[in-house]
Structure formats: C-alpha cells, structure tokens
Chains A and B, each alone.
Chain A
Amino acid sequence: MAESVTLDTLFHDECLKSGANGLIELFHVRGELIYKAVKKEDAGRAGALQGEEQVVYNTIRSSGNEGIWTKHLKSKTNLHEAVIKRCLRALEQKALVKAIKSVKHPTRKLYMLMELTPSVEVTGGPWFTDQELDVDFVEQLTNQCYKYILTKSFPRDASCIFTSSHNAYPSAGAVRKYIMEKRISQVDLSVDDITMLLDVLVYDGKVERFIAQVDDDWDDDVDTESDWVYKAVRDKRAESAWQDCPCGVCPVADFCTEGGPVNPAGCSYYSKWLEF
C-alpha cells in the first residue's frame, strides 16, 4: 500500500530533520508554517531542541530584549497552554530562557533569552529598584539638580538678575556633569535620564527652559547635543489679595468706620477703583 505524500509534508519532514541541527527554524504565524534558515553560529545553542521546544525558543528569541508575554507566546505559536508550560520549564532547566518582570505590567509572566539583558522599558531604568519606583532617589536627585541650576541662575546678590545676554545657564549635559562629579548617584546616569528629571522640574514650574543664545565665537567644549538650557524660576511677586483691594493699601484704614468722617460708603478710593 503506497502512501501518497504531498510535497509540503516531505518538505516539512526534511526541515524537521535539519531543524534538529538547529539550521532551520520553524514558526507558526497565524496558522501557517514558516521556515527560516539560521546562521551557523546561532544554531549552536538551540541546536539540540526538538519541534515544539524549538518553536517556543525561537518565538522568545524574536522578542529580543523586550521579552514576550506567555499569552502572546500562545497566540503566536498556536500551541496549547500545557505544551507551552512544559516547553518553558524544559528551556528554563536548560538555562536557555529566563522569566522576567516588567515595570509596566508587573503581574504578567514574561520570558526572554537567558543571555540578554532586559531593556530599559522593562526594567524601568535607574528609577526603579526591584520593580518599584524609587521615589526618594528621584526626589533627592531632582532637588540636587534644582539647587545647582539655582546657583547658576541668579547672581550672588539676591536683588539683581543677569542681563539678557547672559549665557552661562546650564544645559542638561552640564547638570549631569555636576551630578556625576559630586557622586550624588551611585548609578551612572545618562543625559537622557537627567533630562527626564529636568522635565519634572519644568512641569513643576520650578525651572524654565529655553534655547541658549548662540554666540559667534562658539566654544567647542559646549555640549551641542541639544540647545536647551535651564534656569530657575524665582517667585515674581509675593502677591496678596490685600494689594488688589483698596483697603489693603489705604493709609487711614484703621481710622475708617461706618458713620465716621472716613467711612466705607463714601470712600473715594473705592469709587475710583470701581470706575472701570
């Protein structure tokens, strides 16, 4: 009894065989089988994997350093939950994949290749320790940045301000240099990290940012990555409602009383004020 075998099945079987050497990868994409050739170097690690384990491993590999959620792993591979569970356990035992947690979705089960480092999106970067936002650390750093900017924003004499052509306001790079020199943070912070903190200060209204004045004799040492410089905001006026209302600045307020020579009904300051 001769069995008729389709070309597809033959191809599939051959690929499975070479797949055993890790040279051909198998994917399930929306129900279709996709084959992909693998570079010899990459084939080494996953070489010994069979069938389903290989599919799971490859799908995890394609998620790079973002990791992949088990739910997505299920839909991408179309494998049954019990099968995926078994494969993941086997891959973990072989030290090929590891479970990670994301700060954006702390309860999701994510997996990635053992040798990769989770991306900043997943770990949260320097602001997160063990999946939790290190509020004290962020606050402390932000304060230090603010203090530094404050010292650079106004001259020592508190009643003066710099001229409009003053250009020594610090950029994000300068703030970072200061923070690193003072070793305030134990972890290395990038200019982008510092910019994040400076943005917080801007949104809190403590600091304003603007494009620096460009001089003709541009100093080569200046950080030209971005043109933004930061300046601390000083309370413009200590305003009080008493200043708006005539009574607040009236020289005879104490003397004023109803029925007396100076009284609220006949007050000339009020008449003037209410004459829009």
Chain B
Amino acid sequence: MKFLEYAGIDAINSALVFETPECKVYGRLEPYSCKAAGADKKLYKQIEIKYDPSNSPPDEDGSGSSFRNIISPFGPLDQPASRRTLFYLIGTLNASFPDYDFSDAKPEQFRKEPSVSMVVNSVNATLLNHGNDRAVKELRIWDSIDNLIDFQDSDVYSYNPESDSDPNDEEGGGTLWSFNYFFFNRKLKRIIYFTMRGVSYGAPSEYDNDDFSDMSDDDTGFGRRRGGMRYEDYVVGEMDML
C-alpha cells in the first residue's frame, strides 16, 4: 500500500504522542492508497490461494467447500470483494510495521465496527480520559480524516491480535491498552490507519535490553497480557482489581 503524504498529518501525529500521569501514549495516523506495491502482489496471491474456493482442488469428502462458508468480518470469503478488503488491511499493517509480516493474520482477528460515530466517540473518550483534548478540539483530527476519507462512504475495521502477534505489545511488556482502526473508503480506494497505545512508565524500554536474543523477552505478566485491549476494557479490568 502506498503511503500518502498529507499536509497537517505531522502536526496531528506529534499531538498524538503525549505523557499522562499514568502512562505514555503513542498514537499515529497514516493515510494509504490501496495501490499494490511490490511485496503486496505476493500477498495478494497468497490470500487468493488460501481463501478462493476455486483455487482449492476438489476433495472427495467435499472439504474444499469448507472455505465457501467462511463468513468473515468482510463478508463471505468466496467473494473477491471480501478477499480484497482483507488484502488491503493486511497490506496496510505490513506497510505500517516494516519489521512485521501479517500475511498469516486470520480474518477473525479483524472486526467490522458498527459505525464510524461509535469509533469516533470511543477514541475521543480515550483521548479525553488521558487529558488530551487538543488533538480533537484544536487540531480537529476528525475533520482532517473526513477530508481524506469521507466518513459517509467509509467502513471502519479494527485489528485485535493475540498478544504474541501484536506489534503494539512490545518486548518487555508495558503496553496497557491499544487500538488499531482502519477507515476504509472503497470508492476512493483509500485507507486511514489510526493506532494508539498506552505504555506504562515502569516498563523497561527496548533500549535497555542489550541482549537482542529473540529468546530473552519473557512474560512480564501484566503488561504483556493486557496489550491487545482497548482503553475501555483496560479500565474495567482495573476496576475489577480494586
């Protein structure tokens, strides 16, 4: 997916990284055009092979038909349009996190959000709860996003991975909550990727860890397990503990 430059994005992105008394918040907004670049073509083929029923050889017991019935958050996967959406979302994740490969991400790790306004409210609530209303009130990020993506015509999807596949759940733990939203306008062929995460101050920073062996990140308990949840769920979890 091709990264789109947009005037004003930098200002927004700097406003989305800020400190609060309980954690440091890292957020970013990235607009992409759904144009397949180099490695994307390989990804597209992979997805087609995996989910397109006409590609699987006919089995005696008819088990090839099992994929025909996969209803995903994007619609039935035997429809090329649904597979395309999955391809765009995975491609966006791959572009946004160059050290990761989400090609094996499963459709059920994504969710189609019921409406744009609910997502907007949820994000605003999260920002407000962390004492940051600058992004919304002053910089008016939603106006910018609407200019780029036209909310009326867009679908919103979210990515909710397991903690071992979560790019927001860094080694060393400490990620208290995170979200990954994709604003997708099929007509304009554009996606805006909006991600944010809250990291606790107690967590060791990745620069402290001199031993880069991939085996050495261990489960620091709290931070790791909570990585993939949204702020609302994190707060409820905290309340349970009181």
Contacts and interface: CB of A to CB of B under 8 A. Distances in A.
Contacts of B166: 107
Contacts of B161: 107
Interface stretch (A71-79, A159-167, A186-194, A239-247): A71-79
Contacts of A25: none
A81 B105 CA distance: 24
Contacts of B165: 105-107
Interface residues of A, number: 25
Contact of B214 (A72, A75, A81, A106): A72
A131 B212 contact: no
B62 interface: no
B10 to A, nearest CB: 19
Contacts of B105: 107
A107 B212 contact: no
A106 B104 contact: yes
Contacts of B98: 70, 81, 85
Interface in A86-133: 101-102, 104-110, 121-122, 131
Contact of A75 (B102, B104, B164, B212): B212
B100 interface: yes
Nearest to A121: B215
A69 B214 CA distance: 7
Given A106-B104, A107-B102, A108-B99, A66 B215 contact: yes
A109 B215 contact: no
Interface string A49-80: 00000000000000100111111101110000
Nearest to B101: A109
Nearest to B104: A106
Interface in A163-204: none
A68 B212 CA distance: 8
B167 interface: yes
A104 B217 CA distance: 10
B99 A68 contact: no
Contact of A71 (B99, B101, B213, B215): B99
Contacts of A69: 99, 212, 214
Contacts of A67: 214
Given A69-B99, A70-B98, A105 B104 contact: no
A110 B213 CA distance: 12
Contacts of A72: 212, 214
B213 A107 contact: no
A76 B101 contact: no
B46 to A, nearest CB: 13
B109 to A, nearest CB: 11
A72 B210 CA distance: 10
A69 B167 CA distance: 13
A104 B98 CA distance: 19
Interface string B211-232: 0111100000000000000000
A102 B164 CA distance: 10
A107 B165 CA distance: 5
Contacts of A131: 104
Contacts of B167: 107
Nearest to B100: A107
Contacts of A81: 98
B93 to A, nearest CB: 9
Interface in B84-123: 98-102, 104-105
A109 B164 contact: no
Query: Which interface residue of B99, B165, B215 has the most chain A CB atoms within 10 A?
Result: B99
Nearest to A81: B98
A107 B96 CA distance: 13
A122 to B, nearest CB: 8
B215 A70 contact: no
Interface string B142-178: 0000000000000000000100111100000000000
21 contacts: A63-B214, A66-B215, A67-B214, A68-B214, A70-B99, A74-B99, A81-B98, A85-B98, A101-B101, A105-B164, A105-B214, A106-B164, A107-B100, A107-B104, A107-B164, A107-B165, A107-B167, A108-B100, A108-B101, A109-B100, A109-B101
Nearest 4 pairs of A and B residues by beta carbon: A72-B212, A71-B99, A107-B165, A107-B100
Given A76-B212, A107-B165, A131-B104, 4 more contacts: A74-B99, A75-B212, A81-B98, A104-B214
